Amino acid sequence: MLYDKLNAQMRRTVDEFASRLGPMTWNRRSDLLADAALPFADDFEPDMARLAAKGFMTAVLERWDDPIVVDPRQACLYMNSLNPLHRAMAAEYLSEHPHVRDMVEGELGGAGAPAF
């Protein structure tokens, strides 16, 4: 898990963020997670910025440790995760819910998509 590789300060940041967002809907989680992840990219060169943002998001998703994907916005986050298990879970959700595939793919590639 990526979370296990973080230093203690970053783990505390991830834990605090995951705890605050955990009770929220996936729509709200997604919006706030994107807003929070982007500043992590500010301290890196452009080629590493995207990886830093995805790393933060992945660590938060790992802390939530959801066993399945149950929401289209969750699928968007999981498709952006660095964790291959998250991406596989999102792919499974999309294969079981083909009616939301276009929406999820639009979120991932559209103008309103998180810049991960």
What residue segments make up the domains of the chain, in order of their start? Answer: 7-109
Distance CA 100, CA 116 (A): 20
The model's pTM: 0.85
Average the pLDDT over 91-95 and give the result: 94
Half-sphere exposure of 37 (CA within 13 A, CB side): 26
Range picked from 2-11, 31-40, 96-105 for highest mean pLDDT:
2-11
Segments of 1-116 assigned E as strands: none
Angle at which helices 26-37 and 72-80 cross, to 10°: 30
100, 99, 61: which is closest to 80 by C-alpha?
61
Q: How many other CB atoms sit within 10 Å of the CB of residue 36?
A: 17
pLDDT above 60 (res 113): no
